Each structure stands twice: as structure tokens, then as C-alpha cells.
Amino acid sequence: MMRHKKVKDLIFAQNEELEKSKKEKMLFFRFVSHELKSPIIAVQSAINVVLDTLDANLIPKARDMLERGRKRTVQMIEILKDLVSLSYEEDDDRPEPELVVPCEHISEVIDYFKPLAKDKNIQIIETICKQRKGFKIDRFVFEKIITNLISNALRYTPTGGTVTIKTKIDEDFWYLIISDTGIGIPKEEQRHIFEEFYRARNARSFEAVGTGLGMSIIKRMVEQEDGEIILESEVGKGSTFTVRFPLK
């Protein structure tokens, strides 16, 4: 009996230590994100002002260095966004799930990306269902999943391409299907795409900016809400991500 009690006490102590470590990691991510965001955005704004106002007068070497600096600030902001998402996942004090009518809500998210799509000459095709069926979900998580998937599709679709966003509902599930005419993912790399820090080889050569955290965060968020995410892709033709949530 004494031995069992010691084992039980040891397990309890280790669990407490893990919870403490988890909370410390979450607080660290939030602190770093908060402290770095403002100066990085200030640097980004300064670079943009110089490029927008003095572009014609800049020597090629100076312009190239400023463009590199702008790309690096974009990369840092993406990393900070991922850190915020990671800290949110670890937070035990997240808000209670609320009823979301997804077919209405998703249109607002799509509208946010239309200027970016226009700048890249990418056509967004929407086929959004009209049903008012909803389900309970953490609103931040829901928006983050949609935002990351649309952002990813636009990022890896060349100029002149198409991103198609479709939703549908059956008796049991709500579906989000996002397809693009982008670079696609090699078949042998698809099983790794949801791993932390993983980026396909062609993705790294096509777009330098990226942490490799986005898809792993999406998958965990989807699964935390009892959902499922499926990838279909072909190199040179594009990718389709299908997310489904139960109508609970």
C-alpha cells in the first residue's frame, strides 16, 4: 500500500510540474508576442514609407536591402501570430464555445482577403450555403482555421490563379472546402504537412516567408473541436483542404 501511495504521489507531483511548465510556456509566448509586435510593426512601417516615397531615388542595392527587410518583418509578424495561436491552445481559461452560424459568418472572413487577392490578380470563387444551421465552437478558433486556410491558398497560388471557397451542410456535418490552383504538394510530403515546422520543398522555394507552424496549429484546433481536416493535392495543379465539423 505504501508503495502504491508513493507512486500515486509521484505521478501527482509530476502532473503538477507539467501543468506549471505548460502555463509558463503560455505566458512566455504571450510576453514575447506582445513585446516584439510593436517594434517590428514600427520597423515595417518605416521601411514601407521609405520604399513608397523614395523608391525612384533609391540605388538598386539600397532598394534590394529594404525589400529584404520588409520580407523579414512580414516573416516575424507571421511567427508572432503563430506564437499567439500556440499560447491560446495551451490556455485552460478559453471562453466557452458559442453558437456560430458558419455560412453567414464565413462571408465576413472572405471579404477581408479580397483586397489581397485583387493585388495578386487571384480570383476568389465563393459557393456559400444559405442554411442557418449552426454549431457551438470557440469563435477565435473558428476564425483562425478559416483565415489560415484562405491565407495559405492565396500565398501558394501564382498570379492569375483561382481560389475556390465552398461550404455545405448535411444532416450531421458542416463542411468547408478550400481549393486552389497553386503549386500543390508532392505526394511523398503530404503525410508530413501537418507536422510542426514542416514546409514542403516546393513551398520553401516558391515563398520564403513561413514558419511551418500554420498547418499543425490548424489541425490541432480542428481536432480540439471534434472536427476533421483532409488534404488532397497534386503538384502543379493545386490543393484542396476539406474541414468538417459535427452539427452538435
Residues 142-159 have pLDDT tens digits of: 988 998 899 899 999 999
Task: Encode burial over 122-151: b for 16+ CB neighbours within 10 A, e otherwise.
Answer: bebeeeebeeeebbebbeebbbbbbbbbbb
How confident is the prediction for the chain on average, in pLDDT? 82
Cell numbers of 55, please?
A: 523608391
- Could you identify the residue written with the cell 525589400? 67
pLDDT at 92: 57
pLDDT reading at 91 higher than 60: no
Cα separation, 239 vs 153, whole angstroms: 8
Model confidence at 195, pLDDT cuts 50, 70, 90, reads confident
Residue 94 pLDDT more than 90? no
Tell me, what's the pLDDT at 15? 58
What pLDDT digit, counting tens, does each position of 38-69 carry? Answer: 788 888 888 888 888 887 788 888 888 888 88
Is the pLDDT at 89 greater than 70? The verdict is no
pLDDT top residue among 102 and 124: 124
Separation of alpha carbons 132 and 81, rounded Å:
31
CA–CA distance, 175 with 166 (Å, rounded to integer) = 8
Tell me if 168 sits within 8 A of 126, measured CB to CB.
Answer: no
User: Between residues 143 and 22, which one has the greater pLDDT?
Assistant: 143
Cβ(106)–Cβ(128) under 8 Å?
Answer: yes
Residue 212 or residue 19, greater confidence: 212
SS3 240: strand
Distance between CA atoms of residues 73 and 47, nearest Å: 9
CA 191 to chain centre: 18
pLDDT at 199: 85
Task: Say what the pLDDT of residue 20 is.
Answer: 58
The β-bridge partners of 238 are: 234
Higher pLDDT among residues 143 and 204, named by residue = 143
Taking residues 123-143, what's their average pLDDT?
87
Mean pLDDT on 129-140: 83
Which pLDDT score, from 0 to 100, does residue 200 have? Answer: 87
Per-residue pLDDT at 237 exceeds 90: yes
Tally of CA atoms within 13 A in the half-sphere of 81 that contains its CB: 21
